[in-house]
Amino acid sequence: MKEEQIRPKKIFDEYLDLSKKDISIFFKNKTKKKIRCIACKAQGKKLFIKYSFQYEYCEKCFSVYVSPRPNKKDFFNYYLNSNSSKFWATTFYKKTADQRRKKLWKPKAKMIKNLVNKFNTSSQSKIIDIGGGYGLFGEEIRKYFKNITIIEPASHLADICKKKGLNVINKFLENIKLSDLPKGQKTFVSFELIEHLHDPNIFFTKMKKIMGPKDIFIFTTLSGAGIDIAELGKKSNSIMPPYHINFYNPFSIKIFLNKLNYKVIQVSTPGKLDLDILKNNSTDINNFFMKYILNTFLNKDLNKMQKFYSNNNLSSHMMVVCKKA
C-alpha cells in the first residue's frame, strides 16, 4: 500500500490548506487552558508550535499533545462548521472511498474478525462501531458478523449508514444509554478517533460505563513514537491541529488505560505506510542515516524495514485491545 492510494497528494494538500485557513477563523483570540500529560498527568515541556497550536511532550511517558488547548465548544464549532471539515466529509472521503475500502477497510474488517475470534469468548458477539462515518467498515464487517450497530452523531452520515441497511444510533457517545445497545456480549470498535478527542478521560470513562464485563474494545489511533511522526516532527502531516491533538504511544497508552481501570490485552502497530510517508517527505528529514536508507534501499528491503517497525511497535498506526479490569 502507498500513501498516494488513500491520500492523493493534490486533494490532501487542498484539505490541509483549508484547515490552516479555518484555524484563523475559528480559534483566533480564543481562551486556552493548560493541561498536564494526557497519559500520566506529569507536567509537560514545550515541543513546538504549529499553526498557533502548542504541542508539549512528556519526559516520563513520551506522549505528545496540544497544551494549552481551546475550549471544547470551539472544537465542536470547528468540526461542525469549518470548510475543511465539510471538504473532508463531502469531497475527500467520496473521492477516495473506493481505494479506502480496498486498501483499508477490507483488511481492517478481516483483522477485527480475527481479533474477536481470539479474544472474545462469544462467536455471536455484537459489533458496535463508534463513529461509523460513511459505513464502509460496517459494510465490510457484516460479512463476518450479523449484528452490527453504528454510533454516528452526524445526521448526514447516520442517514448514509441507514441507507446501507446498517443499524444506526444517531447520538454522541456521551449520550448513549445501555438501553440503546443490543443485549449480549459486544465488541466495541473505534478507528482514528482518539487523537481527535478534546478530553480522552471523558470518552474512556463513558466507554467503561456501557461495556459489559466480557466485552472488549478495539481502537486504533496515532502513535507519536511512530517512526514517520518521530522523524518528521512538526513537519509531519499527521501532526495536524486542531484535528490531531493527542498522541499516545504503546508505552503511554497502557499507563493511561490502567489508570482508568482497563485491562490492556494487546497493543500493536500494524502500520504499512511509515516508510512510504518518509520517502514522500525525504526533503524534510535531517537524519543522515534515514535519508541514506530511503534513497538507496530497494523496495523489497524497505518493505522488510517497514515490517520490522510494525512488528516492534514502532509504526505510527497503533491498535489497542482492552476490556474493563
pLDDT digit string, tens, across residues 12-57: 999 999 999 999 999 999 999 999 999 999 999 999 999 999 999 9
What's the pLDDT at 155? 84
Question: Does residue 39 lie in a domain region?
Answer: no
Question: To which H or E segment does residue 148 belong?
Answer: strand 148-151
Question: Does residue 186 lie in a domain region?
Answer: yes
Query: All 3 cell numbers of residue 228?
Result: 514517520
CB 3 within 8 A of CB 103: no
In angstroms, what CA-CA distances link 215 with 125, 219, 255, 267? 9, 13, 21, 17
Q: Any idea which of 80-89, 224-233, 280-289 has the lowest mean pLDDT?
A: 80-89
Task: Give me the domain span that covers residue 177.
Answer: 3-10+93-324
Could you read off the pLDDT of 110-159 as tens digits, one per residue? 999 999 999 876 668 899 999 998 899 999 999 999 999 999 988 888 99
- Across the chain, what does the average pLDDT equal? 94
Q: Where are the alpha helices (DSSP H) in the chain?
A: 3-6, 9-26, 72-81, 83-87, 93-100, 106-119, 136-141, 155-163, 200-210, 227-232, 252-259, 274-280, 288-296, 299-311
In angstroms, what CA-CA distances link 4 with 43, 85, 233? 38, 21, 20
Question: Does residue 111 lie in a domain region?
Answer: yes
**Residue 109's CATH number:** 3.40.50.150
**Average pLDDT over every residue of 262-285:** 96
Distance CA 309, CA 271 (A): 8
CB 164 within 8 A of CB 139: yes
What's the pLDDT at 97? 87
Question: Does residue 21 lie in a domain region?
Answer: no
Question: Does residue 313 lie in a domain region?
Answer: yes
Question: Does residue 77 lie in a domain region?
Answer: no
What's the pLDDT at 121? 67
What percent of the chain lies above the pLDDT cut of 90?
85
What's the pLDDT at 253? 98
Which residue type does 125 have? S
Distance CA 199, CA 179 (A): 25
Distance CA 162, CA 118 (A): 30
What's the pLDDT at 14? 95
What's the pLDDT at 123? 67
Which strands make up the sheet holding 126-130, listed edge to edge?
167-169, 148-151, 126-130, 186-191, 216-222, 317-324, 262-268
Query: All 3 cell numbers of residue 89?
Result: 466529509
Question: Does residue 268 lie in a domain region?
Answer: yes
What percent of the chain lies above the pLDDT cut of 70?
99
Task: Domain count for the chain, please give it.
Answer: 1
Q: What confidence tier does 82 reach under pLDDT thresholds 50, 70, 90?
A: very high
Question: Does residue 18 lie in a domain region?
Answer: no
Could you read off the pLDDT of 211-257 as tens digits, one per residue? 999 999 999 999 999 999 999 999 999 999 999 999 999 999 999 99
